Amino acid sequence: MDIEISERLNKLPPYLFVKIDQLKQKALSEGRDIIDLGIGDPDLPTPLPIVERMQEAVDKPAFHRYPSNKGRIELRSAISRWYERRFKVSLNPETEILPLIGSKEGIAHMPFAFLNEGDAALIPDPSYPPYRNSCILAGGVPYIVPLLEENDFLPDLTAIPGPVARKARLFFLNYPNNPTSAVAQRGFFEEVIEFAKINNVIVCHDAAYSELAFDGIRPISFLELAGARECGVEFHSFSKTYNMTGWRIGWVSGNADVIRALATVKSNIDSGIFEAVQDAGIAALGLPEEYQDQQIATFRRRRDILVDGLNALGWTIERPKATFYVWTKIPKGFDSSGSFSQHALAAGNMVITPGAGFGKYGEGYVRMALTVSEERLTEAVERFRKIL
């Protein structure tokens, strides 16, 4: 039998993190001592109160049945209280909040709710690959919006051609940003809202890293801005904030009509989140701020070890203001981010992510994740010293 995959699948580039994991597993199978600075998967454990709530909840027979696609009202109410406490934003838990099987799932399904064949979506570059790939899978056309260092890795809205802007249905944004660690200010979001209203485009703001910022910085929510709920939604994740990457739970909040359409897509594809995991999510949202302070302090120490260590070797890297990523230009002597990443693995037994995997404008950079211990980061700096 001749099995042919769809043209849409053929249009997709190899998924970056799958390829990186394959290279890492091969190296590990060879018995090599690998320091993994590749995928942003927190190494810190999920906080104990969340685990304990899950252990209690999993024993409840009522949670063993199909969950509601809308998510438990208790979870949606907890999200609403969190938004009020964190951002002073009041959300209706009935209509303006939708739990997700991880924010990636909701982001990936957005184009299926709003793109017709050939419609455009505005995709930042470099960026998290699902923005672009989900657009392709839904039959849309990605229009690349460069994120350049000279613009502080913010898109230049005036550079988007008028015909493209008017044809676009979705505009994906992500601040604090993966992979660049850039942080957006209120004035930028005000410009985005004006742009969205003029061009009738839905803003999809991915705020997965809003709770990982350093040196007194407190990233704002897109939904804090006047007019934001008229033109868009914001995605959040338990993964990075509470070290729950394997639990698969997140949410989207904002424009009720957008959320209703996304919920319709989801009701035809999935059956909701295991209710015990939802219970654990409620526990997470109720954790005291001291937990987050400790988390931030851990990643700040790691950031300083890696950045200061690399700068001592001759690099010029500014300390990231947010996220647990270090985004930096490749050293001289390498012709691409891929060649430098391959050298780091072959000669230094380190996995780092080539910037080209995040898009055309990521070429010339690499991303390193601060998801290993301080001791391993110190060792990584020493390995860089030896291979450069």
pLDDT in tens, 129-146: 999 999 999 999 999 999
What pLDDT, on the 0 to 100 scale, is given for residue 15? 67
Is 96 a residue whose pLDDT tops 70?
A: yes
Looking at the structure, do residues 78 and 120 belong to the same domain, yes or no? yes
CATH number, position 168:
3.40.640.10
CATH number, position 38:
3.90.1150.10
Looking at the structure, do residues 40 and 95 belong to the same domain, yes or no? no
What pLDDT, on the 0 to 100 scale, is given for residue 91? 98
Question: Domain total for the chain?
Answer: 2
* pLDDT classification of 330: cutoffs 50, 70, 90: very high
What pLDDT, on the 0 to 100 scale, is given for residue 196? 98
Q: Which of 230, 256, 285 is the last residue of a domain?
A: 285
pLDDT one-digit tens code per residue, 25-49: 888 899 999 999 998 899 999 999 9
Q: Is residue 382 part of a domain?
A: yes
- Calculate the average pLDDT of the chain: 96
pLDDT one-digit tens code per residue, 150-164: 999 999 999 999 999
Looking at the structure, do residues 252 and 269 belong to the same domain, yes or no? yes
Q: Is residue 127 part of a domain?
A: yes
Looking at the structure, do residues 114 and 95 belong to the same domain, yes or no? yes
pTM to 2 decimal places? 0.96
Looking at the structure, do residues 310 and 250 belong to the same domain, yes or no? no
Q: How far is CA 265 from CA 106, 107, 110, 124, in A?
A: 10, 12, 8, 24
What pLDDT, on the 0 to 100 scale, is given for residue 20? 75
Q: Which amino acid is at 202?
A: I
Q: Which amino acid is at 322?
A: A
Looking at the structure, do residues 151 and 202 belong to the same domain, yes or no? yes
Q: Which domain holds residue 344?
A: 7-45+290-387
What pLDDT, on the 0 to 100 scale, is given for residue 212? 97
Looking at the structure, do residues 319 and 256 belong to the same domain, yes or no? no
Q: Which of 258, 285, 312 is the last residue of a domain?
A: 285
Q: Is residue 2 part of a domain?
A: no
Q: Is residue 1 part of a domain?
A: no
Looking at the structure, do residues 28 and 94 belong to the same domain, yes or no? no
Looking at the structure, do residues 52 and 157 belong to the same domain, yes or no? yes
Is 202 a residue whose pLDDT tops 70?
A: yes
Q: Is residue 64 part of a domain?
A: yes
Whole-angstrom Cα distance, residue 274 to residue 67?
6
